[in-house]
Amino acid sequence: MSRELFVGVMSGTSLDGVDAVVADFAPSGGKACETVGAAHLSLPTMLRDELLALQTAGANELSRAGAAANMLAELYADAIGKALAAGKLDSADIVAAGVHGQTLRHRPERGWTLQLNNPARVAERAGMAVVADFRSRDVAAGGQGAPLVPAFHAALFSLPNRHRVIVNLGGIANITDLPPDGPVRGFDTGPGNALLDQWCARHRGTPFDGEGAWAATGKVDPALLDTLLVTLVRLPP
């Protein structure tokens, strides 16, 4: 079977950088997918500060957003190029790249979400088809704007005789519920690394808690944990 190579590009709400991964969705050995190449590029401080500023109303927003989108697109294309190089691949080997952009405002309860991106610029620079703005389509269909994660988790981790819940601690934390005999569900649970990183920057002078070393020195609060677990169990279907 020939390989089906796709690139996924992500710059999350933590604003720490851009990740690009080349995945083979038709690997040998019966796996659902296999990583072929990967790369990470840190976000320049100037661009990070501008993206943070654009999350609130300000002067000359449209012009600033357009310039930031172009800078992001260049970074996305560079990350794709490095991921291809890591896998000893060429752009012609790739079916398509998924590049949803950087979330600036997200109000699915009002029927809209806004990701900063210039996918046409990414496609020109990377030399491949680019799929973008799929978060808006999911919101339009009544979802929360993250249509791919639950489906991916289901393909990789679901079991016919075991109930699993996958936790993703990104900038915003989310979970995927994988019951053996029910529908797959996925939804945000609240702030994750975005607030943790900001707390570390303010109180510890570091951009993040490397390897969770500081967090590992803490102790579990049993009462709080029980409350959180009960709240999770009582979530509506």
Q: What is the extent of the structural domain holding 227? A: 159-233
Indicate whether 151 belongs to any domain: no
Q: Identify the CA nearest to 42 among candidates 65, 64, 13, 11.
A: 11
Residue 134 confidence (pLDDT): 87
Q: Are residues 136 and 170 in the same domain?
A: no
Indicate whether 154 belongs to any domain: no
pTM for the complete prediction?
0.82
Residue 233 confidence (pLDDT): 56
Residue 122 confidence (pLDDT): 97
Indicate whether 163 belongs to any domain: yes
State the DSSP code for 142. T
Q: Are residues 131 and 29 in the same domain?
A: yes
Q: Are residues 120 and 217 in the same domain?
A: no
Q: Identify the CA nearest to 132 among candidates 104, 143, 121, 83.
A: 121
Q: Are residues 111 and 51 in the same domain?
A: yes
Residue 203 confidence (pLDDT): 93
Q: Are residues 84 and 166 in the same domain?
A: no
Q: Which residue has the tokens 């296999």?
A: 34
Structural domains counted in the chain: 2
Q: Are residues 99 and 204 in the same domain?
A: no
Q: Are residues 126 and 217 in the same domain?
A: no
Indicate whether 152 belongs to any domain: no
Q: Are residues 22 and 136 in the same domain?
A: yes
Q: What is the rounded CA–CA span in Å between residue 54 and residue 167?
A: 29
Domain boundary among 140, 170, 195: 140
Angle between helix 119-126 and 61-86 (nearest 10): 30
Domain boundary among 140, 168, 193: 140
Q: What is the rounded CA–CA span in Å between residue 72 and residue 58?
A: 20
Q: Are residues 20 and 120 in the same domain?
A: yes
Q: What values do phi and psi take at 204, rounded to 5?
A: -120, -5
Q: Are residues 177 and 66 in the same domain?
A: no
Indicate whether 101 belongs to any domain: yes
**Running along the chain, 237 residues long, what does each successive block of 10 average in pLDDT?**
86 87 84 91 92 90 95 97 97 95 90 94 97 90 84 90 91 90 86 86 89 91 86 56
Q: What is the rounded CA–CA span in Å between residue 131 and residue 25?
A: 16
Q: Are residues 17 and 89 in the same domain?
A: yes
Q: Are residues 134 and 29 in the same domain?
A: yes
Single-letter residue type at 112: W
Indicate whether 149 belongs to any domain: no
Which CATH number does the domain housing residue 183 bear?
3.30.420.40
Residue 231 confidence (pLDDT): 67
